[in-house]
Structure 1
Amino acid sequence: MNFKKKIFSVLSKNEFENLTLDIFHYQIDNNKIYKNYLQSLKIDPLEIKNISEIPFLPISFFKTHCIWSSKTRIPDIIFTSSGTTGIKSKHYVADLSVYINSIRKGFEFFYGPIEKFKFLGFIPTDRKDSSLIYMVKYLIQETIQNGSDIVSSYSNYKYKNWIIPDQKNVLIFGLSFYLLDFIEKMEKNGYKENVIIMETGGMKGKRKEIIREELHNILKKFFCVKEIHSEYGMTELLSQAYAKKNGVFRCPPWMKIYIRDPEDPFIHIDNNKIGGVDIIDLSNYLSCPFISTEDLGKKINDYEFEVLGRMDFSDIRGCNIMTI
């Protein structure tokens, strides 16, 4: 079955559920780690008839195992977490074109054609194995004719020379600590209607962690914008969720969020209750699309969710999480 084509053409809830069950059975046939995990739980895959019954693999397995369900043997690329403490996660990506499709189609689902944007990446350039940096570089390369670029040095330009009024929307992708470093060194500029500031990551051990609201207030004041956007992604996933205001995220059609009971990881709880974040990301079908993360969150409704922090036992990683 051509999953790659079907994943990015999902439109309805019914299509998502049918495709998810097909990919679940593909996982059982091709993902040895996931199959063994279900066996250890004494779960018979043949008895699973609804996607709500599908078990989620703890994300920590990406630190200790090669999570692989491709029929090929050599990955196109291996993404590695920043891993400021402990063992780093590794995501073995069998087909890089799936990630590229997810980047582009996911962004355009929320913001429209990338050709309408000038992207500025406030990111480090010394990591070749970061999925986030790969994503930002891809968006920049695809729109380089619009003046898109990586901002890696603050000493040779003024902010006003980068955020110029033109026919393109300017979107700044910035890691939190990079954005804070930037505004400490640059002069303040006026408000521009076509500028979007998107924070996309924690402090990664570079600065003291602060709550998202405080970070957003600092950024809004400096950049003179009404809202700060956010991106939610991680090394172990190939899709991203986006928040356009107030830290309320939405997923693309091939991604779904569940919230698990903090006392029982095999039970999902109702909307507006806080628990662990479980994710179905169908673009992960060549690794594992059913991931139980170490993030705390709550669902507002079937389409919107918030990320509230980290589980107490988990280490701080490079995904878009602020401490509670």
Structure 2
Amino acid sequence: MSLSPTDVVEGISLSLTCRGDGNPAPFYSWYRNNQTMLQGQGGVYQFPSVRSEDSGTYHCKAENKYGPVNSTSVHINVEYSPRLPSVSVDPPGEVAVGSSVNLRCSSVANPAATYTWYKEDMTSPAADGHVFTIVDIRREHAGNYYCQARNSRGHIDSIPHLIVVSSSATAAVVGSITFLLLIALFLSAFIIFRRKMASRRTSETKERPGDGTKSSGQNSGGQLETPSTAAVGNSTDQDDIHYASVQFSKKQEDPVYSNFMPAKPKTHQNEEDVEVEYSMVMIKNTPCLRRPGGSEDSCALYSTVNKL
């Protein structure tokens, strides 16, 4: 029993043939990497178009009622040209003048691919190998770079990758702007925090019982107040203070006039609703009259009260 061929190229048509003698005619089974693929009477396994995933180790088994027999194994190697290469850059983004950058190219191929680096608008290669390192970057290094993967079955170019070179001054400006923005954000957060703390303290002070009430005999500085200053400084204390006016006049030796005007304490009601009473008392002594018969003198006392 034999298998043929063993070396193939992707895309071609391939047939595996298994032959064995037996009576009655044997029944054939096919295996790839020891996994059952196909069973049938025929001894031929057909690949209309070989693909890369068809690579592996194959064998067949012939069996009739008298027993099975296995063929020798054969390794099928499917060769193909490189797939589209991928490019990675380290570090990514803009590259500062004077620094270095590494470009890596990779592709799947059989046989393994070799790599060549090119810069667009230049005919000669920039470098060979899987990794292309540019040291001491200068402005003339800016541009599009691509790699080419090649093997005995073909070659293919990667998608161009742009290298942007920035001056050190630009990088310093960007760094300074970033630093200033961070400082501004920190200051804004600090100011907001202080305002919230001040607002919280104010709320706690207002909610604390007895904070807004002062003793009747003290002002905010802890000094004693006289009734007059207390009345002037705090209108609510006027309810506890009474004012009175007393006037005496003496127009002659005996008659005495007096005017006494008390005032009622003010309340928190409107002045129109408060009823205020004024009274005037006038006391007058008249000369004593002597009665006939030598009796004691009698004096008359007159008083006048006016009420408004």
TM (norm. structure 2) is: 0.21
Report 1 or 2 for greater relative contact order, CA contacts < 8 Å, sequence distance ≥ 6. Answer: 1
**Which structure features the higher share of helix residues?**
1
- Decide which structure has the larger Cα Rg and report it: 2
TM (norm. structure 1) is: 0.20
**Which structure features the higher share of strand residues?**
2
